[in-house]
Amino acid sequence: LIIINTPHNPTGAILSAQDMMKLEKLIKDSDTIVLSDEVYEHIIFDGYEHQSIARFPELAKRSIAVYSFGKTFHNTGWKIGYCVAPENIMQEFRKVHQYNVFSCNTPIQYALAEYLQNEEHYLYLSEFYQKKRDLFNQSLETSRFRIHPSAGTYFQLLDYRDISDEKDVDFAVRLTKEYKIASIPVSVFYNKPPEDTFVLRFCFAKEDETLLKAADILCKI
């Protein structure tokens, strides 16, 4: 089993068509199954196009693609999504799903079915979030943070190595306590984190006023 995630949380990186073709070649003549996490499929920036595993026939034959209504429609608390896979793989998937989840409640399914009728509810997301990413990053240009612009998702990584040599967890805690700015230290996403991780993840799915206020505080650190 190979697990991929594009756009990627926490880095905001995306896989290209060339990446997918390399993966296709890598697993050729094997029994490998690919689990593709594509929950941020509609949040991708700078004119790039989401490369779903479903676009590549040979990969699609042996993959499970996972999507999230919560990420797309701003209702993550509902905890509802869906997956796409060939019939033979889906049969095995359902054996596990039936006993782990069984089903979600009916009213939520009806609500989402109606909401999906209007494509504008999800096709505008890239433009919407890119404006917020750009606002946040441009407001940080005078800061001491190193910015690696996110290519997708609503997360932005900031490298603080020019500010402090603290471990990322310690620095994140201090930011919260002393500056009232919450972030996620990237090391928590690792099974075995590297020693020199000086990167924090910030979420820019906020009101513009909040982003500007946060950037102003970060620029003074």
Task: For the chain, give the percent of residues with pLDDT over 70.
Answer: 100
Query: Cα–Cα distance between 167 and 66 in angstroms, integer?
Result: 33
Query: Cα–Cα distance between 53 and 62 in angstroms, integer?
Result: 10
> For residue range 39-69, what is the model confidence (pLDDT) as tens digits?
999 999 999 999 999 999 999 999 999 999 9
Q: What is the pLDDT of residue 115?
A: 86
Q: What is the pLDDT of residue 142?
A: 97
Query: Cα–Cα distance between 34 and 184 in angstroms, integer?
Result: 28
Domains and CATH numbers, the chain: 2-122 (3.40.640.10), 124-219 (3.90.1150.10)
Q: What is the pLDDT of residue 196?
A: 84
